[in-house]
Structure 1
C-alpha cells in the first residue's frame, strides 16, 4: 500500500514528506561548470560519441571530465563512476589498443587519470599501463603508436606521457624529456606535429608541453614556451586554436592552466574570458554553468568538451597538480 501511495504521489506531484536532497548551489564558476558537466554524463559515468546515429564510448572526453572534477574539487561521485567505467577491460583495451595495436597517447592519458584517482595503473582494466607506455618509447625518445593505421602520436602524446610517468617512482625517461624539449620552434613555442619541414608553434600544444617540461625539470625551455604563449593572448583575454580563428574556451582553458603559476595576470585575463562564455543565471536552468566553445553561444554538441577544458583554466590547477578527491556532489550555479 505504501509503495502505491508513493507512486501516485510522484505521478501527481503530491508531497509525501520524503524530500529529495537539495543540490548544493555555488557561486564558484569552476565548481558550477563541473556540476553541469557531471550532469551530462550518460548514466552518470561516461561520455559517448555519435557517428551516424550509432553510439560509441568516448574514453578521451570522459578522462577530460575526470581531470575537470579533480581540478574543481567537486563531482567526485561521478569521477569515481567514470574511472570505474574506464577500468572495464573492454573499455580499457578499446581505448589503448590490443593485439597488434597500441596507442601511446591513450596509454598516457588513461594512466594519468588512474594516478589522479589513486588507482593502480599497473593493473587497470587488465592492462599494465606504465609498462605498455614505456614499451612504446622509441630510441629517439619519442613515444610512438604501434598500429597498422599509422602513427598518430604528437606533442599531446609526449606531454601526457611525461606527466604520467613523472608521477611514478622511476620518473619520466630522460631521453623522452630531451626529445620533447628539442621540438621547440625558434620563436619559443612548440608544434603539434613532429618532424615538419617548417616548425610552426601551436597554442594548445605549447600549453601542454610547458606543463610537462616544468614537471620534469626543464624550466628554461618551459619559460620560453610561456613567454611565447603570452604573445598569443588576444585583446578579449582568450586564445585562438588557429590564426584568424575565433578565441575559444578549449584553447583558453589549456593556456590559462599553463600560465596560472607563471604569468598570473595573463591567466586572470584568460579566466575572465572563460567566464564571459559561461551560461549564467539568465540562461536556461539546465544549461547554467556550461561553457560555450566561443562567442557564438551555447551549443550542446561542443559544450561538454569546451567546459571540460575550460574548468582547469577557471580553477588554475594544471595537469601536474591534479589530485583526485573533493566533494561528491555536482553543484549548480547559485542564482539567488
Structure 2
C-alpha cells in the first residue's frame, strides 16, 4: 500500500479487499453502508477511519473461504459478528458479500434443521445479518428465518389466557434451551424490521430484562417464574455490560421510536456511561470479569449510537491503544498482523516477540471484530502529519529533538532516522509529541521520518562527524 499525506487525516483509507478464496465472490459486491443510526451518530464528530479500516482488513484476512474458522469447522456465530462489524466499514462491501455467499447455503448448520432443532438466538442473529447483507431473511438459504423465529417466540395468548412469557424466545432442542437476553435483542431487531406481528411482544419482554439501574441482565428467569423481570439484588439479575450494550445497539437499529424504548435507551446509556472508567475502558461481568477491548468497544459503540460522543470517544481511544502498529524500523513479530486488536494489553506484550500464537488467534479475531465497532468513534487528528527538527544541523552521535504534529489521539507511529527509532502514540489532546533521536555518523544530510499505518512525513538536517 502506498503512503500519502492528507491535509486532515480523517478521510477513509482506501485499502484493497482481502482475497477470500476463488469462487467465493459469486455475486457483485455491494458497497458496505453504515446504517442511518451510525451515520447520524457520527455526523457531528470528526472521526479517523484508519483504526477501524485496518482492523477490518486484518479480520477479513482471517476468513477462510468467507467463513471464520473454529475449533471444529467454521464458527458461524463469529462469522456473523464479523460480517455485521464489517458492514460498518465502507471498503468492506465485497467481504460482507463473500461472507453471505458462504454462509447462506450452510445456514441450517447454525440455526438448526427447523424441525427437531431450532435455535432462537441464531435465527435472530442470522436474520439480522441477512438484512444487513441486503438479502431477504424470509427467503434465506431456502429458509424463512422470520417465520421460524416467530415460532420460537411465545405468543401473547396461550390456551385462551394471557401468556406470562409472551414475547420470550426459546430454543427447540434436545440439548436444552440456551436462549438469552442477547438473542432476545437480536430477535427484537429482526422482527421489528420485518414488521412482524410478534415484534411488540418480543420488545416488551426484552424491556422486562432491564433492571431499575438501567442495565440489562444476561439470562432469563426459568419459564415457570411468575414475574420474568430483572430484579436488582436478586441472583440471576446481575448487571451485564455486554448484554446491555447489545440490547442498546439492537434497539436503536430496530427503529422502534416508542416512548418505552426511548426511556429504556436513556437509562441504559446512563448506566453504561457510569460503568466506564476514566481511562475509557469498561469492565466485563460474570466469571473472569476483566477490563477488555470487547466490553469497551461494544459499550463505546452503544454510547456512540446514543450520541454520547464524549464517552464513545474515550472508549475508542482505549481500544486503539490495544491495536499495535509496529511497522518500518519499529517492526516486531506483530507487524504481519497490523490492524489486529488485543483482548487485553498483556496479550500485546506477550505477542510482540512471539507473534500471535495459533491457539490465541481465535481470541484476537473475536476482540478485533467487536473493536471495529468501537473504533468507529476514534477521533481524528487536528493537523496534517509532519515532523520538525529543532536544529538544522548537528554532529554525529548527537541526540536531537524532533517534534511530531498531526498524530490522532492514541494513534501508533514510528519515528526514525538511520540507526535509531522510537515508538510513539498520539496524545489524547492531539498535541505535538517531542522525542529525541540519535544521529548516525557520516557527513551528509539525513532524513528523519514519522510513519503511521497509512501515512508518513519527513524532515532533514545536515550531520557532520
More strand by share: 2
Q: Tell whether 2:200 aligns with 1:174.
A: yes
Aligned with 1:87: secondary structure? helix
**Greater Rg, structure 1 or structure 2?**
2
Distance of 2:210 and 2:104 partners within structure 1: 35
How much does 1:192 deviate? 0.2
Aligned match for 1:304, one of 356, 360, 365:
365
Distance of 1:239 and 1:294 partners within structure 2: 12
Greater length-normalized contact order (CA 8 Å, ≥ 6 residues apart)? 1
RMSD: 2.2
How much does 1:40 deviate? 0.9
How much does 1:172 deviate? 5.9
Aligned residue in 2 for 1:259: 303
Q: Tell whether 2:54 aligns with 1:32.
A: yes
Aligned residue in 2 for 1:114: 130
In structure 2, the gaps of 5 or more residues are 1-14, 18-47, 156-164, 223-233, 349-355, 379-451, 457-465
Distance of 1:92 and 1:261 partners within structure 2: 29
Matches within 5 A, 1:41-60: 41-43=63-65, 45-50=66-71, 55-60=72-77
What does the per-residue CA deviation read over 1:10-36, in whole Å, with 9 as the maximum and x for residues that have no partner? xxxxxxxxxxxx948x97110110011
Aligned with 1:148: secondary structure? coil
More helix by share: 1
Distance of 1:132 and 1:316 partners within structure 2: 36
Residues 23 and 211 of structure 1: is their aligned pair in 2 closer, same or farther, counting only changes over 3 Å? closer
Aligned residue in 2 for 1:322: none
Matches within 5 A, 1:92-241: 92-98=107-113, 99-139=115-155, 140=165, 141-170=167-196, 173-195=199-221, 197-198=234-235, 199-214=237-252, 215-216=255-256, 217=258, 218-241=261-284
**Is the Cα–Cα contact under 8 Å of residues 27 and 334 in structure 1 kept in the other structure?**
no
Aligned residue in 1 for 2:7: none
Q: TM-score, normalised by structure 1?
A: 0.81
Distance of 1:126 and 1:85 partners within structure 2: 14
Aligned with 2:91: secondary structure? coil
Q: Tell whether 2:290 aligns with 1:246.
A: yes
Q: TM-score, normalised by structure 2?
A: 0.60
Aligned match for 1:69, one of 73, 86, 91:
86
Distance of 1:316 and 1:109 partners within structure 2: 24
What does the per-residue CA deviation read over 1:161-188, in whole Å, with 9 as the maximum and x for residues that have no partner? 1112222244762111111111211222
Distance of 1:169 and 1:150 partners within structure 2: 29
**Is the Cα–Cα contact under 8 Å of residues 186 and 250 in structure 2 kept in the other structure?**
yes
Distance of 1:171 and 1:231 partners within structure 2: 36
Structure 1 stretches of 4+ with a deviation exceeding 6 A read none
